[in-house]
Amino acid sequence: MSQSQVSGRGFEDFALRVEELRAAHADRGSDPALLLDAALVELERAVEFMRPAYGAAHAPGDDVPSGARAEQRLFKAIFENLPVPVALVDGETVVRRVNTAAADLTGLTAGYAAGRPLSAFLRPGDRPVLRSQSAAVARGEGSRSLAVRLVQRTGSLVRVTLSEARLPGESEPAVLVVLWPASDRLWSPPGRPDPAAPTESVSVAARDAALTDLMDRTSGALLRAGTRGPAAALRAATDAVREELADWAVLDLLRDGVLTRLVVSGPEQTDDPGLEKEIAQQDPEGCPVVAEAVAAASAVLDGSAHDRRRFGLDGGGAPMLGRADAGSLLTVALTPAAGDLPVRGALTLLRTGTRPSFSLAEAGCVERIAGHMAIVAERCAEPV
């Protein structure tokens, strides 16, 4: 039997064992610790299997033997077609390569993910954990596993297995990452779509209808400013935006060149009961993202909220975004149109936990609503 036949059979056996592990993972009677040990064994086997191909592909010299080229193609084929989501990253979690299954699970294309930190695609609270564990693996401190949540998949819980991968010809070790779906939201391998998942056209149409309905609701609230007063109308519009799009909505008005906080609209229940009061008492002038949006008379969309100090600090010096567990931030200046003057204030929206980041369509809708709010804010002379 030829070497290529042996390699092919070994890969097929490996693929079958991984499928069995995935099936066992879905069985509530399985022992997670035993499954993890078995997964690490298979992961180490995959590294050993791929190492010769990688070494042959990166051997010095321009004259690469045909056998080495064949091994290189085999290495790429194995990585791309592994039946489990796999990524190759460095010690800082920067993605070097993801396979098709990993792109399908995370919702990220291979071209988009490459060169970006894998930790950036997780909810903010999980990012430092993954970075620290990846750095430890890259230092040679052994394989490890942890549970994280993906932002792109509305908080899907995944079990991440990290293993050191020393690649020939490179001084710095890489980290091989395997992503094991661990939530009720099931993952379907490429070519096996989830029949329960809505089609893209249906979800887009539903989102457009919801945004149109939100525009109607806020317009109605603002049109009643003549009877209820401008401040009450702005509060009602802010509440409506928060109910549809965010967990927190904060409205700051610019009066005589000074930002003043008018509305703080938050969830009815929160793990931090004092947070709403802290946000209400915060000086908007010390809130960097608000000052940035007002100065530029534009919108600021931060899909990952990586800089936890961007929405300012509380009275004890802790970042507000950290206390709110914010994963996405949108601040829109109150102007009749983007870039126009004068600026009447800013509307800031926060999404917390595992909710997906604000989309461009949602940001555009909020900009139009903010334009309507700017007209009412011009007439808002009530004391805060």
Domains and CATH numbers, the chain: 3-181 (3.30.450.20), 200-377 (3.30.450.40)
Q: Helix or strand or coil: residue 152?
A: coil
Provide the residue-wise pLDDT of the chain in tens; the chain has 384 residues.
444 444 556 667 777 777 777 776 666 566 666 777 677 777 777 777 666 655 555 555 544 455 545 555 655 666 676 777 888 888 888 888 888 778 777 777 767 777 888 877 787 777 888 888 888 888 888 788 788 877 765 556 788 888 887 765 567 778 888 887 764 444 444 444 444 444 444 466 777 788 888 888 888 888 876 677 888 889 999 999 999 889 999 999 988 888 889 989 988 887 788 888 889 988 888 899 999 888 888 888 887 777 788 888 888 888 888 888 888 899 999 987 655 678 899 999 998 877 778 888 888 889 889 988 988 888 764 444
Strand locations in the chain (E): 86-89, 95-98, 144-150, 156-165, 174-181, 248-255, 258-265, 299-302, 326-333, 345-352
Q: How far apart are CA 208 and CA 367, in angstroms?
A: 15
Q: What is the DSSP letter of 380?
A: -
φ, ψ of residue 256 to 5 degrees: the values are 55, 40
Q: What is the DSSP letter of 184?
A: S
Q: How far apart are CA 184 and CA 269, in angstroms?
A: 24
Name the pTM for this structure: 0.55
Of the candidates 94, 80, 176, 85, which has an alpha carbon nearest to the alpha carbon of residue 127?
A: 94
Alpha-carbon dihedral sign for residues 182, 187, 189, 192: positive
